[in-house]
Structure 1
Amino acid sequence: MANTGERIALFIDGANLYATAKSLGFDIDYKRLLREFQNKGRLIRAFYYTALIEDQEYSSIRPLIDWLDYNGYAVVTKPTKEFVDSLGRRKVKGNMDIELAVDAMEMADHLDHIVLFSGDGDFRSLVEALQRKGVRVSVISTVTTQPPMIADELRRQADEFIDLIHLANRVGRDPGDRSDRPPPARQQERRPVTPGSVPNEGELEEDDEE
């Protein structure tokens, strides 16, 4: 697709995109992902949303968040809440839907095209509201898994649905390229991420979200 000059913003549901790519058997290369959409138009902003466990001294996803902060992404985080349910099971609550929706509506008047990386059906109403404001909305997820990672109502509402599997060769990490990867999360020491190296979220255990 040629550069059309349209004003584009990316809204990435971090946990959802991580799970979708993992289900398809590849890891996202966020440097390539940013470049892919910079080539499609005038990229105004790329938002990345994720929750972090409250009071945890070190999160395994922190190297990725730090890299994104340094390299062109607007990272939005909030603390999760841990609790034990009635059956004694540990649960983590940390939904970023409201933050994403508020930012999208605030940006809508300055955009022509929003690309939403999520399959969450809760975003159907947001997509409809953005369309009423004249914004074209593309949704990226997948239907190639069983069950599909995208809710049917969200797919139907979108102006365009793009299956992530069709972008794998353009935004996926080369499995043979390990030169700038951090060690697996369980073995990581607490160390800063330099702006030149890209952590691989496939090697980072993202905290659970509901």
Structure 2
Amino acid sequence: MTDHPDDRIALFIDGANLYSAARALNCDLDFKKLSTWFVGEGRLVRAYYYTAVVEGEEFSPVRPLVDWLDYNGFTVVTKPVKRFTDAQGHSRTKGNMDIEIAVDMLELAPRLDQAVLFSGDGDFRRLVQAMQAKGVRVTVVSTVKSQPPQISDDLRRQADAFIDLADIMNQVGKPKAPMNQGVARTLDRSDRA
């Protein structure tokens, strides 16, 4: 990724966007491997993970991940999901983290050599340009190897470097659990009987 082993690097992970890219590739991420991989590329200053959370639910599928990240060196930035009714009367939710990502990147820019943005959202093109103007190289991680591609062409062109998530899954991914693992175990036991 870099020829600068002393680079001060920070990771900025758009949780929802990265989840969509990994799902489009039919992969699961191992965040421990992910942070370790980037530590090998330079000096990891900070690793941020951004996600919206639904408040008031007894169980949130994102809560175990958020807790694990928080206990394992990631700076987790959350905000509550907002509920609204659209023009057709349907209940919708919104949990965009773009502003939080932009503010944190710009605030940390003076202490970075490289920012790694995990998102394919084209709205970040201008943010990448602003970081570059401050002397920070920006690498974007997403994928073009899914249908449809998960990255905006404008964002990919603006970035100093692009890493396709599909190309690094061997280093930062984990095997996806088979859907019918319980059925396979049951069949295996019955074969032995």
TM-score where L is the length of structure 2: 0.88
* Structure-2 change in CA distance of 1:56 and 1:38 (3 Å): same
Residue 67 of structure 1 deviates from its aligned partner by: 0.3
Distance 1:105 1:157 in 2: 16
Q: Is the 8 A contact 1:3 1:39 kept in 2?
A: no
Q: What is the alpha-carbon distance in structure 2 between the residues aligned to residue 103 and residue 126 of structure 1?
A: 11
Q: 2:51 maps to which residue?
A: 50
- What pairs with 1:48-197 in structure 2 (closer than 5 Å)? 48-175=49-176
Asked whether the 8 Å contact 2:24–2:147 carries over to 1, the reply is no
Output one character per residue of 1:52-89: Cα deviation in whole Å (capped at 9) or x when no partner.
12333431110000000000100000011112212232
User: What's the secondary structure of 2:26's corresponding residue?
Assistant: coil
* Cα deviation, residue 5, structure 1: 1.3
Residue identity opposite 1:137 in structure 2: V
3-state SS, counterpart of residue 146 of structure 1: coil
**Which one-letter code corresponds to 1:114 in the other structure?**
A
Alpha-carbon deviation of 1:147? 1.9
Question: Residue 56 of structure 1 aligns to a residue in which SS?
Answer: coil
Unmatched tracts of structure 1, length 5 or more: 178-210
1:147 alignment partner AA: P
**Across the two proteins, how many residue pairs are aligned to each other?**
177
Distance of 1:126 and 1:167 partners within structure 2? 24
Which residue identity lines up with residue 119 of structure 1 in the other structure? G
Alignment partners' CA distance in 1, 2:152 and 2:100: 20
| d(CA) in 2 for partners of 1:55, 1:68 | 21
CA distance in structure 2 between the aligned counterparts of 1:133 and 1:101, rounded to whole angstroms:
14
Contact 1:16-1:119 within 8 A present in 2 as well: yes
Secondary structure of 1:45's match? strand
C-alpha displacement at 1:106, in angstroms? 0.3
- Which aligned segments of 4 or more residues in structure 1 are displaced greater than 3 angstroms? none
Please name the residue that 2:188 is paired with.
Answer: none
Deviations 1:91-148 (CA, angstroms, capped at 9, x unpaired): 1011100000000000000000000000000000000000000000000001112221
- Long gaps (5+) in structure 2: 179-193
Native 8 Å contact 1:53 1:82 kept in 2: no
CA RMSD for the aligned pairs? 1.5
Aligned to 2:183: none
What is the deviation of 1:176?
6.2
Rg larger for:
2
Query: Which residue number in structure 1 is paired with residue 13 of structure 2?
Result: 12
1:198 maps to which residue? Answer: none
Amino acid at match of 1:14: G
Per mean C-alpha deviation after superposition, the further-off stretch among 125-134 and 86-95 is 86-95
Could you tell me the percent identity over the aligned residues? 60
Partner of 1:183: none
3-state DSSP class of the match of 2:48? strand
> What is the DSSP-based 3-state SS (H/G/I as helix, E as strand, rest coil) of the residue aligned with 1:124?
helix
> Structure 1 3/132 Cα, relative in aligned 2: closer, same or farther at 3 Å?
closer
In structure 2, C-alpha distance between the alignment counterparts of 1:74 and 1:132, rounded to whole Å? 25
